[in-house]
Amino acid sequence: MLEVAVILEFSLNKYLEASIILVLLFFNAFLGFFEESQAQKTLSGLQSKLAVNASVFRDHEWRIESASILVPGDIIRITMGSVVPADVVFLEGELLLDVSLLTGESVPKAVSAGENGYSGSLVRRGEALARVVNTGFNTRFGKTIELVKAAYVESAEEKAILQVVRNLSFVNGAIFFVIMFFDHSIPASEVLPLLLIVLLASIPVALPATFTLAASFGARLLAEKGVLLTRLSSLEEAASMDILCADKTGTLTKNELNFVAVLPFEQNRPEDVLKMAAMASNEGGQDTVDLALRREAERQNLLPESSRLVHFVPFDSQTKTARATYLDQSGVEVTVEKGAVPAILKKNACSPDAVDLAEKWQGAGYRVLAVARSVAGEGSVAGLIVLTDPPREDSPKLIHELSTIGIRTVMVTGDSPRTALHLAKDVGIAGDLFPQSSISEEMAPGSYGVYAGVLPEDKFNLVKAFQRDGHVVGMCGDGVNDAPALRQSQIGISVMSGTDVAKSAAGIVLTRPGLEGILETVLEGRRIFQRIQTYTLNSIMKKVVTVLFLGIGLIITHHAILTPLLMVLILVAGDFLTMSLSTDNVAGSRYPNVWKVQSLTIAGILLALFFLLFATSVLLVGVNLFHLLPNDTPSLVFLTLVMGNQATIYAIREKGRFFESLPGKWLLASSVLDLSVAVGLVHDGILMAPLSDQLVGIVFLMTFCYLIILNIFKKVIFKWYSVE
C-alpha cells in the first residue's frame, strides 16, 4: 500500500514527499528485518539447549552423550522415548518407529536388524543397537531443515488484529466516498491527494515490527527464567490457558525414585526379588524405575551378570510390563517380568495377600511394582517392590497460584488410582477421581481432578475433550506417553527431565528444575496480550479518528487539512511510540485472556469519538481564534494528531487510572523523542508552515484536558464491553 502511495506521489509531481516515503519504507523494512533476525538468533541460541542425547559405546563403556558428537561408525543404543539421533543401520533388536515427522505416515513402522532408521524418527516401543551412518545435515532429516525454516503459521493475535484493520479499511473507504458524494465543492485536483491520505491512514505500518518486538522481548525474558519457547506463539496461547493437564511422575513429582522395601512372597528372599527386578531393568537406559532398581541392586552387590541374559523386552506403556529371559546357574531358561501390579497379577499365580498389600502401600502414596518369575510357562509372583517418588517442593505452590489466576489443574497419570489420589491431596489438586480408566474424546470431562490408570491415547483424548468444550488446554509432561497429548494441546510443556520425544512435541521446555517456569510463562503471556491489545485498541482509534477528522476538517475549511507527507510523518511518529508498547510495564489480567474483536472494535470506536471531539475542538480554535491560513492548517493538524495519539496511549494502557503504573523506559523515551521532533518541526517550520508558541501551548493544554476526560470515560466503556 505504501508503494502505491509512492506511485501516486510521483504522479502528482511530489518528488520530495515520494522520496521521503521511500526512505521510510526502507527504514521500516530494515527495522522489521533486524528485529526478526534478532528473534531468530534468540531462538537459535535457546534451542541449542534442546540437544538430543544418545547412549553411545565409547572407551569400552556406555555413556550418555550429546548427539552432536556422534560420527559415522559409532555404536549407539536406541530406547523407547528417544529420538533417533542420526541415520543408522540397526544391528540387533526391534523398534516401533514413528516416522510421521519425515514422511507424514500416521502408522508407526516396525524395524529390526539390517534395516535403516532415519534421524528424527520417534521411538514408540522397543530397544535396539545401531551403527551410525550419517549425521547432521547429511541425514535425511537435515535436508528438510531449510524447508522447515520457511514454514509460517499465523497466530490468533495476528488474525484478530488483521480482522480489525480490514474492517477499518472498509469503514475508511466508505467515509471517503460519503464525503465525495455530499461535498461537491472539493476541487478535482484535491481528490487524488485526499484518497492518498485515506490510503496512508489505513496502513498498519507498525504491525509486523510490533509483533516481532513483543514476541522476542518475551522470549528473552523467559529464557533468563529457565523457559525455552520452541514456538513463539506459545506465549499467546499461554495467556488464554484455563486448564492444565499435568502428568504425575516427573512432573508433579521429582522423578527421583528411591528404593523403600521389598515384600517377598512364599520362599523368595528379598535379595532374590530385587535381583530379578534388576535383571528386568534396562542397562544403559534412562528409565527412572530401572535406574532406581539397578542402583539399589548395585549397592547390595546384587547386579546380575549380563552374559546370562538371553532376551530383554523393555517397558511398554501398552502392556505396562518389562520382561527379561536369562539362564540360571543350571542353564535353565527363566523369564522374569516386572511392572504394574494389576498387569503382573493378571498373568501369574500370586499370594492371597498380594492385592491387599499392594493397595495398602499405594494408598499411602508409594509406587508398587510386582515381580514375577516363570519357568517353562509356569509363573508366580515372587514379590512386590516399593518405591517412592516424592512431590516436588514447588508443586503445591504452583497449583495454588495457578488457581488464583483462573487456571484449573488436573492430574492425568498411568499410575494406580489410590497412588494418584494420595499425591493429588498432597499437592492440592481438587476434584474427584474419574471413574473410568479409558477416555474417549466425545466424553464430557466434567469437574474431575484426577484421571488415573490411563494410556497415552487416553491423555490425548482427554485434551481433545477439553478443547471440544471450549477450553484452552496446557499439557505438562515428561515421557513418551505424554507426547501425543503434548502435541495436541495448545500449550505443550516439557519439564527439564523430559525425554527427547516430550521435548520435541512440546512448545515450551523448562530448562531448570521445578515448575516455576509454567507460572512465569502464563504471566508473561498475559502481559504481552495486554500490550498487543493496547496496540490494537490504539490502532482502531487512530484509523477511525484520522479519516473522520479529515472529512470534518474538509467540511469546516473546504480544503484538505493534511498533506500526504505529513500523514507519513504522523504514521512514523506513531510507529515509534506503538512499537515501544511491546516492552511496556503492564500487569497481566487476573483471568485467562480471550480475543473479543467485536467488543474491542466497538470500544475503540466509542473512545475514538472523544479523540475526534478533541481534534475538532483544536481545529476550530486554530481557524476561528488564530485565523490560520490554508497552508498553516496542516501544521496544526499534524501537531494535534501526534499529541492526541500520545495522550490516547497513556490513557488506555491501564484499565484503571493512567498513573497507576509507571510506563516502560522505552515508551517514555519514545514519547520524549516523538514530542521533541514534532514540536521542533512545527516551531521551526520544517516540511510545514511554522506555528506560534502561543498556539502550541494551547494544544498542549487541550491535550492534557483530553487525557483526563478520556481516562474517566474509558473505565466505563471498558466495563460495558468487558475489555480486560
More confident residue, 158 or 79: 79
Number of H helices and number of E strands within the chain?
A: 23, 20
**pLDDT score, position 185:** 60
Ranges 109-113, 150-154, 188-192, 612-616: which has the least confidence: 150-154
Residue 76: band (very low, low, confident or very high) from pLDDT cuts 50, 70, 90: very high
Q: Has residue 106 got a pLDDT over 50?
A: no
Residue 146: band (very low, low, confident or very high) from pLDDT cuts 50, 70, 90: very low
Q: Pick the most confident of 147-161, 409-423, 497-511, 561-575.
A: 409-423
Residue 288: band (very low, low, confident or very high) from pLDDT cuts 50, 70, 90: confident
**pLDDT score, position 138:** 82
**pLDDT score, position 264:** 92
More confident residue, 563 or 36: 563
Q: Has residue 471 got a pLDDT over 70?
A: yes
Measure CA 519 to chain center.
Answer: 12
SS3 218: helix
Determine contact, residues 218/235, Cβ cutoff 8 Å: yes
At 507, the amino acid letter reads G
- pLDDT, tens digit, for every residue of 316-344? 767 788 899 988 888 888 999 999 898 89
At 605, the amino acid letter reads I
Residue 708: band (very low, low, confident or very high) from pLDDT cuts 50, 70, 90: very high
At 20, the amino acid letter reads I
Q: What are 635's three cell numbers? A: 501544521
**Mean pLDDT value of segment 543-548:** 80
Q: Report the alpha-carbon distance of residue 72 to residue 184 in Å, rounded.
A: 80
Cα angle: 443, vertex 445, 450; to 5 degrees:
125
SS3 416: coil
Q: Report the alpha-carbon distance of residue 488 to residue 450 in Å, rounded.
A: 20
| Structural domains in the chain plus CATH codes | 51-148 (2.70.150.10), 157-220+521-720 (1.20.1110.10), 227-253+391-511 (3.40.50.1000), 258-386 (3.40.1110.10)
Determine contact, residues 380/357, Cβ cutoff 8 Å: no
Residue 42: band (very low, low, confident or very high) from pLDDT cuts 50, 70, 90: low
- pLDDT, tens digit, for every residue of 197-231? 666 666 655 565 666 677 778 888 888 888 888 77
- Which residue is associated with the grid cell 541374559? 309
Q: Has residue 652 got a pLDDT over 50?
A: yes
Determine contact, residues 491/238, Cβ cutoff 8 Å: yes
Cα of first residue to Cα of last residue in the chain, in angstroms, is 33
Residue 560: band (very low, low, confident or very high) from pLDDT cuts 50, 70, 90: confident
Q: Report the alpha-carbon distance of residue 699 to residue 618 in Å, rounded.
A: 7
Distances (CA, A) of 248 to 260, 363, 372, 479: 19, 15, 26, 10
SS3 522: helix
Q: Pick the most confident of 217-226, 263-272, 410-419.
A: 263-272
**pLDDT score, position 155:** 54
**pLDDT score, position 151:** 35
Q: Report the alpha-carbon distance of residue 675 to residue 326 in Å, rounded.
A: 82
Residue 153: band (very low, low, confident or very high) from pLDDT cuts 50, 70, 90: very low
Polymer length of the chain: 724
Average pLDDT of the chain is 82
Q: Pick the most confident of 26-40, 584-598, 692-706.
A: 692-706
Q: How many CB atoms lie within 10 A of CB 630?
A: 12
Determine contact, residues 160/134, Cβ cutoff 8 Å: no
**pLDDT score, position 199:** 62
Q: Has residue 41 got a pLDDT over 70?
A: no
Residue 104: band (very low, low, confident or very high) from pLDDT cuts 50, 70, 90: very low
